């Protein structure tokens, strides 16, 4: 694949309409005449007999010239950038107006495609279809009583978008040498003076002491598919709620999977992504080394980690996103497009919370009243009720 490759179209051989990836049939299909075309393993099973997902050597790749790399998505798209939250999304060129899937804003402006964008090498195709995503969204919106009454009406108007989110995944072998002082607890009997009945008396007590001894060791581990979300359009904390993605189900990138879907462009580049992954791996190594220190406690832990066999993949993972503003704040609802796991944020109605508290107190007071009435303590119940 070279940069001169022409973007592709996927017209329907029967009627000429554009074919789109359909998660329910797992085919490229035509909305107009129902034609279906197999993609990937279903089309050429012989190519998929062994895992075809390549891990690339990170440092060799960073040395390569731009011309050697595959760029873009290999399919005709246009890029739109959200003026409000900064997310840049590739959309179908036929789409004339759109709103930002990440913040619901319609301040989106068309942008020239980013020539330097590294092409994804693999992805997990959408498996949850729109109908399912929308149905779950509506069910979820209706759940719970502590939310504003107009929530369903307001949030129900926001659209739900199927977006491929960009990730870097890194593999690395970590080897960590550590040294520390290992602390062993022991107890000593100490004598001290105390005042008892106005007299000075000598007493004893057990005191914990620590004996420090030098210690050292090595920890080795292979890290597989450390996942780094390559933008900040969805807060990582929120995104982690719909993890995991089963990355063993990645398929080689094929632009046909993107047909009819949006793809967010990465904003955290490969080198920056690696820095984040490196820190995450080194933090984990430090924790693992700390656990190896013998004794009851430790101090002055020094860890030196070497990382080798570092490889990466640029992957796209499927997520359904609905973003709806409520009283000036944007709330999000996410569906893992592979597993269907959902997570969403809802505003809280404090008036409803207050009403619920009052109702609970009244019920409690009534219960107390009936329990105490027989024993002549009825006034106690009325007192409580009065307090409510
Ligand atoms: Zn057709
Ligand atoms: Zn936005």
pLDDT of 1 > 50? The answer is: no
Higher-confidence position of 368 and 325: 368
31-86 confidence digits (pLDDT tens): 899 999 998 776 765 555 555 677 888 888 888 877 777 777 777 778 888 888 88
pLDDT of 3 > 80? The answer is: no
Going by the DSSP 8-state scheme, the letter that residue 231 receives in this structure is S
pLDDT of 163 > 90? The answer is: yes
* pLDDT band, residue 149 (cuts 50/70/90): confident
292 domain-assigned: no
Residue 378 sits in the same domain as residue 238? no
pLDDT of 258 > 90? The answer is: no
5 domain-assigned: no
Query: Which one of the ligands is nearest to 87 CA?
Result: 2
174 CA to middle of ligand 2, Å?
Answer: 38
What is the distance in angstroms between the CA of the first residue and the CA of the last residue of the chain?
Answer: 74
337 cis-preceded (ω within 30 degrees of 0): no
* Sequence-separated (6 or more) residues with CB below 8 Å from residue 343: 238, 241, 242, 333, 334
44 domain-assigned: yes
What is the CB neighbour count within 10 angstroms for residue 129?
16
Mean predicted confidence (pLDDT) in 375-387: 53
Residue 256 sits in the same domain as residue 359? no
107-147 confidence digits (pLDDT tens): 778 877 777 888 898 999 999 999 999 888 888 887 777 77
Parent domain of 357: 352-387
235 CA to middle of ligand 2, Å?
Answer: 13
Query: Which one of the ligands is nearest to 233 CA?
Result: 2
Query: Which one of the ligands is nearest to 14 CA?
Result: 1
Mean predicted confidence (pLDDT) in 13-42: 89
291 domain-assigned: no
Mean pLDDT, all residues of the chain: 86
Which residues are placed with Cβ below 5 angstroms of ligand 2, an ion? 82, 84-85, 87, 100, 102-103, 105
Q: For residue 138, what is the enclosing H or E element?
A: helix 130-142
Residue 237 sits in the same domain as residue 254? yes
Query: Which one of the ligands is nearest to 234 CA?
Result: 2
Residue 261 sits in the same domain as residue 366? no
Total domains present in the chain: 2
Residue 378 sits in the same domain as residue 334? no
Q: What is the pTM of this model?
A: 0.78
Residue 123 sits in the same domain as residue 159? yes
Residue 105 sits in the same domain as residue 246? yes
Give the tokens for residue 180: 């520390």
266 CA to middle of ligand 2, Å?
Answer: 14
304-351 confidence digits (pLDDT tens): 999 999 999 999 999 999 888 788 888 889 999 999 999 988 887 788
**CA pair distance 329, 53, nearest whole angstrom:** 40
97 CA to middle of ligand 2, Å?
Answer: 14
Mean predicted confidence (pLDDT) in 164-180: 96
């Amino acid at each position: 694949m070279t940069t001169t490759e022409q973007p592709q179209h996927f017209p329907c051989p029967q009627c000429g309409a554009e074919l789109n990836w359909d998660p329910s049939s797992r085919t490229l299909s035509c909305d107009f005449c129902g034609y279906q075309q197999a993609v990937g393993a279903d089309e050429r099973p012989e190519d998929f007999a062994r895992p075809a997902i390549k891990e690339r050597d990170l440092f060799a790749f960073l040395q390569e010239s731009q011309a050697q790399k595959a760029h873009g998505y290999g399919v005709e798209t246009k890029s739109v950038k959200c003026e409000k939250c900064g997310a840049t999304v590739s959309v179908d060129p036929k789409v004339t107006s759109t709103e930002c899937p990440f913040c619901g804003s319609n301040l989106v402006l068309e942008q020239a495609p980013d020539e330097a964008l590294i092409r994804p090498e693999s992805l997990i195709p959408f498996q949850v279809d729109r109908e399912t995503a929308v149905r779950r969204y509506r069910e979820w919106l209706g759940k719970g009583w502590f939310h504003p009454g107009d929530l369903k009406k307001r949030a129900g108007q926001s659209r739900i978008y199927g977006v491929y989110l960009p990730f870097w995944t890194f593999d690395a072998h970590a080897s960590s040498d550590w040294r520390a002082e290992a602390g062993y607890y022991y107890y000593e009997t100490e004598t001290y003076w105390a005042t008892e009945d106005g007299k000075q008396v000598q007493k004893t007590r057990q005191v914990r002491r620590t004996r420090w001894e030098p210690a050292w060791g090595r920890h080795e581990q292979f890290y597989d598919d450390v996942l780094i979300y390559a933008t900040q359009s969805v807060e990582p904390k929120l995104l982690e709620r719909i993890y995991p993605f089963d990355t063993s189900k990645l398929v080689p990138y094929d632009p046909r999977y993107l047909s009819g879907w949006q793809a967010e462009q990465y904003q955290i580049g490969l080198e920056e992504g690696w820095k984040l992954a490196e820190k995450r791996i080194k933090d984990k190594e430090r924790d693992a080394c700390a656990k190896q220190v013998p004794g009851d406690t430790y101090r002055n832990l020094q860890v030196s980690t070497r990382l080798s066999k570092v490889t990466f993949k640029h992957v796209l993972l499927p997520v359904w996103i609905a973003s709806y503003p409520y009283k000036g704040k944007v709330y999000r609802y996410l569906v893992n497009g592979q597993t269907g796991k959902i997570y969403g944020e809802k505003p809280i109605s404090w008036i409803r919370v207050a009403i619920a508290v009052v109702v609970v107190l009244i019920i409690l007071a009534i219960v107390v009243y009936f329990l105490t009435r027989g024993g002549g303590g009825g006034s106690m119940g009325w007192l409580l009720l009065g307090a409510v």
